[in-house]
Structure 1
Amino acid sequence: MFAERFTRARKASGLSMQALATAVGISANAIKKYEHGTAMPSSSNLLKLASALEVRTEYFFRPIKVKLEGVEYRKRASTPQKILDRINGDVLDQAERWQELLNFYPDSIKPITPFSLPSTLPDVIDSYEQLEDVATTMRNGWGLGLNPIHDMIDTLESKGVMIICTDVETSKKFDGLAGNINELPVVVISTAQSGDRQRFTLAHELGHLVLHNRLSEELDEEKACNHFAGAFLLPSTSLIQHLGKSRTQLEAQELYMLKHEYGISMLASLYRASQSGVISHQTQKNMFIWFGKQGWRTQEPGEPYPHEATYLYKQLVYRALSEDYIGISKAAELLGVSLSSFHKERKLEVLNAAATN
């Protein structure tokens, strides 16, 4: 148990064995032995290691363990393994707290809705064009209609998908990942990404859940998930209502307004216009080149779409506290804050102080 947790904490910190050894004043060989499980640190070194890795000493001996399975990363090819290790450590730590929290709830109470897909989805999808109907089926099955989805995180959480936001600095080389914990679907997104990119990642990972074992061998799953994501966020019917059925050209301002109404990037809206037949592929290609000359493929103009955040975990901590499933100390521990900070937050003192400033 100790060796596995120690290794995870070290990788999550981004420190090499040598860097950690130097920080605590021991040899790199000792660190190696700790990770291989052939030695244990003394009490004094354990305190130093915990401090250097920014964890509590009890973290190394925590009995609860979870496995994140079926992991698929949405990352750049150049993403360093060190960044992926840090993300993996952060995700597992958050997932463990999630699992511990859920275990406090009585078996008769299910605080998270079991994930399920509409029964009307097709068994086989053999063309990318068919994904337009698949996205509409998902929206109808979940009662979303064709209007903008104002909160993707809340929408997915209400349907039984666990969302984890990681604050690990990734230099924008990581968008998200999907997997499952004890058969519960999990999607991880980076807080460093813009709001519209977060939303596209969420829709893309939903695509994996929807399209799994449904695509014919001729279709590329990543391409299909991208198409599904665009159609789910901005349905063709809604797009045509805004832009018209057939256009020879589009104004950048039209794409900008779509971005802020539907929470989808201008570039993705441009692709959707081509996929929906509003503009020709050549027009889309020409505008894509123009976007590049303007520098908009790197950073789109105007106000960015706001980030999304998850509140479900925190809500369930307070719900468990209110129902006496957990005590105050455990609530503070689950939220990763000190008791004094938790007392202030619980009494809304932080909000009151902000309102008076």
Structure 2
Amino acid sequence: MDTELKNRLSNFSSRLKSARLMNGLSLQGLADKIPNQITKQSLSKYELGQVIPDSEMIGILSEALGVRPDYFFSSQVLEIDIQENPRLRVFPAKERIRIVEIAKDELGRYLELEQILGIETRFENPISHISISSQQDIEEAAQTLRNHWGLGTGPLSNVIELLEDHHVKVLEIESTEEFDGFSTWVNGKNIPLIVLNKAKLNDAPDRKRFTALHELAHLLLEVNHLPERDKERYCHAFATAMLIPAETLKNELGGKRSKLSFNELAAIKQQYGISMQALVFRAKNVGLISDNYFRQFYAVFNQLGYRKTEPVDFVGTEHSNRFSQLLFRALAEDFISMSKAAALKNQKLAEFRKENMVI
């Protein structure tokens, strides 16, 4: 067998398996989805790399699995390891695998587009030198990152877009499991990846912002040596410090306080995109309210049922259009064809043409 054929067999077999796992299907489940056209045994031969199906069957498989036919012949390899993530270890193996395969597919197309455009994707951690063992260390880390990214001390308008603009990849994947998000590194320590659960966060932009920054903390802070409880506490503190710096919160509240008003917290929430609960935690962490008052306030907050549904909503856009922007730049400047653009978007060409107007 020549090398080219071996590579095609290998690529097809691994990509077919990935597409099947993305859909949460077993071999029999996939066969049942295409009744009277293929057997479990034939699918097994494809995944073992023993044979490549003809073009008609490739079309049938792509339709059943929701991918384009050229998906099966991509040679890009991404390594995403979530085995050490304690929040995901409790998930059923099938769902963990499904999430990882979807992330590989979406991230793979994203990185291919950046490569076509010659965009540098190397990420540098500007706070790797800061050792974390206190709240003051968290304040220093958040302020250093804000300074490095040129964010000033005001509100962050779109956290997801901000992270994407600084080479942190953010994917939004729907899952029935009870998690807001997780983070990991792809291909070693080269690409920082944050995955958010669309099912839980799409209707809660303030929670999505907080979750994204919390996961950023897991990627950037030197906290792995700490107990899990301390690690989570510091990552929470970093997220709130990024959303509203200590000096900014002090100015908003007018200094140390003996009492806080729901109405003023609601106003700050709407301006800075940080929940009222997180604001009260933040005020305690930076010494603007006492621990005793914090406990009293939180007890009342809980009694009123505001822990689940706060009395006011933050209305903001928390989504990145960076991939689409890059795609249409590449298309407009003839770096890619219309067909390639559709492939990168994982759409049929006719569907892509219908949805997108390019002059």
Q: Deviation of residue 338 (structure 1)?
A: 3.5
Distance 2:89 2:291 in 1: 28
Kindly provide the amino acid, as one letter, of the partner of residue 115 in structure 1: F
- Residue number in structure 1 paired with 2:325: 315
Shift of 1:47: 4.1
Alignment map for 1:1-357 (pairs within 5 Å): 1-25=11-35, 26-28=38-40, 31-32=43-44, 34-37=46-49, 46-69=58-81, 75=87, 79-105=91-117, 109=118, 111-112=119-120, 114-118=122-126, 122-166=129-173, 168-170=174-176, 172-181=178-187, 183-192=190-199, 193=201, 194-212=204-222, 217=226, 220-347=230-357
Identity in percent: 35
CA distance in structure 2 between the partners assigned to 1:135 and 1:284 by the alignment: 23
Give the deviation of 1:324 after TM superposition: 1.9
Structure 1 gaps, min length 5: 350-357
The normalised TM-score by structure 2 is 0.82
Per-residue CA deviations over 1:235-273 (Å, capped at 9, x if unaligned) read 111111122322233222222222221111221112111
Q: 1:42-64: CA deviations, max 9, x gaps?
A: 76654443322222333222222
Q: Secondary structure of the equivalent of 2:140? A: helix
What's the C-alpha RMSD, in Å, of the aligned pairs?
3.1
CA shift, 1:217, in A, is 5.0
Q: Assess, with a 3 A threshold, how the Cα gap between structure 1 residues 216 and 4 changes in structure 2: closer, same or farther.
A: closer
CA distance in 1, matches of 2:69, 2:346: 14
Query: For each residue in 1:298-356, what CA deviation from the matched residue of structure 2 results, as whole angstroms up to 9, or x when unmatched?
Result: 2333335435111111111111122221112211221233434434554379xxxxxxx
- Secondary structure at 2:110's aligned position in 1? helix
Q: Give CA deviations for 1:114-138 in whole Å, capped at 9, x if unaligned.
A: 433447x754333233211221122
TM-score in terms of structure 1 length = 0.82
The alpha-carbon distance between structure 1 residues 99 and 142, as it changes in their structure 2 partners (threshold 3 A), is closer
CA separation of 1:252/1:270 partners in 2, compared to 1, >3 Å: closer, same or farther? Answer: same
Q: How far does the alpha carbon of each residue in 1:11-55 deviate from its partner, in whole angstroms, 9 at most, with x for none? A: 211233433232223554555554454666576654443322222
Paired residue secondary structure (2:135):
coil
Structure 2 segments unaligned to the other structure (5+ residues):
1-10
Number of residue equivalences = 342
CA distance in 1, matches of 2:266, 2:207: 14
Aligned AA for 2:161?
D
Contact 1:126/1:218, CA 8 A, preserved across alignment: no
Q: Secondary structure at the match of 2:182?
A: strand
